[in-house]
């Protein structure tokens, strides 16, 4: 068992013990021989145990997403597992997801995940002005051909027109870079002689236009930051152990944790993936 897993096991046991016995319980969790069947035997009398303290509450997200993100999808996304997982998490973070899709995209599969699918420019309004209502526009599968067209200003498909409109209205445009890497399995020819230099040139042009071409994990994290996570924090300080299960539901963009409190490694990783920062407060 590695040290991170051992830490989680130990801290989870501590949490369960404190929940059952209260914060002032003695350090030793060993049951007394006088304890039997949930009842304390005091001489000849049977004394019922004190009521268990309530489990520390975790604030649940406010229902209903209020910030919108537009995904531009022009091919299969099943291979993009991190992106697919994010589609399921974002509604919990207060982010509504809409997707502009090409004809080859499985519309029903997206809608089954709660994504509103858009297939015509008219749905974005006159001169694509509706684009201003989105907190970010993302391209989860930016391949070499699409990057080249954008870099050269070739707007021969609606998806590219939307990108140009977003850049014009200063809406953040984020793209995952994985399909531009030399070893990409989804874009043949990225490792041909001289191709790496061409792709690097395309990326430089895109970034000069205002696009951010970054690793998938960073793109997903920046989406949450751009959306500002519309669920307000109450300002309360969390004083109990935070596990990976808790981290799935905690609202951001910042959680306040009492100094000396415990956050498991899995919880830290999940919070980082959701773009949520941890602020330590209180006296040392």
Conformation bin of residue 10: beta by default, left when phi > 0, alpha when psi is -120 to 50: alpha
Mean pLDDT of the chain: 77
Q: How confident is the model at residue 195 (pLDDT cuts 50, 70, 90)?
A: very high
Average of pLDDT values for 255-272? 83
Q: Is the pLDDT of residue 142 over 90?
A: yes
62-117 pLDDT, tens digit per residue, is: 344 468 899 999 877 766 788 988 988 888 777 899 999 988 888 888 888 889 99
Q: Which residue has the higher pLDDT, 272 or 235?
A: 272
Give yes or no for a cis peptide into 189 (omega within 30° of 0): no
Distance CA 45, CA 47 (A): 6
Q: Is the pLDDT of residue 136 over 80?
A: yes
pLDDT confidence of residue 149:
97
Torsion (CA) 183, 185, 187, 192 in degrees, nearest 10:
40
pTM recorded for the entire structure? 0.59
Average of pLDDT values for 256-262? 78
pLDDT confidence of residue 159:
94
Q: Is the pLDDT of residue 167 over 90?
A: yes
Average of pLDDT values for 213-227? 86
pLDDT confidence of residue 109:
86
Which token pair is 41? 């035997």
Distance CA 191, CA 9 (A): 45
Question: Looking at the domain 67-227, which fold is it?
Answer: Rossmann fold (3.40.50)
Which region among 13-17, 201-205, 220-224, 267-271 has the lowest average model confidence (pLDDT)? 13-17
- Per DSSP (E only), the strands in the chain are 35-36, 39-42, 45-47, 67-73, 95-101, 116-118, 136-139, 173-176, 212-214, 237-238, 254-258, 277-281
Q: How confident is the model at residue 48 (pLDDT cuts 50, 70, 90)?
A: very low
Average of pLDDT values for 162-180? 93
Non-local (6+) Cβ contacts of 91 within 8 A are: 65, 97, 114
pLDDT confidence of residue 61:
39
pLDDT confidence of residue 58:
38
Distance CA 222, CA 273 (A): 9
Are the C-beta atoms of residues 259 and 280 closer than 8 Å to each other? yes
pLDDT confidence of residue 81:
85
Average of pLDDT values for 44-67? 46
The domain spans of the chain are: 67-227, 237-281
Average of pLDDT values for 237-253? 78
CA angle 92, 97, 98 (to 5 degrees): 165
Q: Which residue has the higher pLDDT, 1 or 33?
A: 1
- DSSP-derived 3-state class of residue 238: strand
């Amino acid at each position: 068992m590695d040290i991170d897993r051992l830490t989680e096991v130990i801290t989870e046991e501590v949490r369960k013990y404190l929940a059952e016995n209260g914060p002032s319980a003695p350090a030793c969790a060993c049951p007394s021989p006088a304890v039997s069947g949930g009842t304390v035997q005091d001489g000849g009398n049977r004394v019922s145990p004190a009521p268990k303290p309530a489990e520390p509450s975790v604030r649940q997200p406010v229902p209903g997403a209020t910030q919108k993100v537009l995904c531009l999808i022009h091919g299969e996304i099943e291979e993009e597992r991190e992106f697919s997982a994010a589609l399921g998490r974002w509604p919990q973070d207060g982010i509504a997801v809409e997707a502009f899709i090409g004809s080859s995209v499985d519309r029903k599969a997206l809608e089954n995940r709660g994504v509103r699918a858009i297939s015509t420019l008219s749905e974005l309004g006159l001169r694509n002005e509706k684009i201003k209502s989105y907190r970010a526009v993302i391209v989860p599968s930016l391949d070499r051909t699409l990057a080249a067209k954008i870099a050269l200003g070739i707007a021969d498909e609606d998806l590219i027109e939307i990108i140009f409109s977003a850049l014009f209205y200063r809406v953040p445009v984020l793209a995952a870079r994985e399909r531009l890497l030399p070893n990409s399995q989804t874009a043949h020819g990225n490792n041909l002689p001289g191709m790496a230099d061409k792709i690097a040139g395309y990326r430089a042009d895109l970034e000069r236009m205002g696009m951010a071409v970054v690793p998938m994990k960073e793109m997903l994290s920046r989406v949450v930051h751009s959306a500002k996570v519309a669920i307000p924090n109450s300002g309360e300080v969390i004083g109990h152990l935070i596990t990976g299960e808790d981290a799935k539901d905690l609202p951001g963009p910042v959680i306040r944790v009492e100094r000396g409190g415990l956050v498991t490694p899995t919880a830290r990783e999940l919070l980082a993936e959701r773009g949520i920062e941890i602020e330590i407060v209180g006296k040392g």
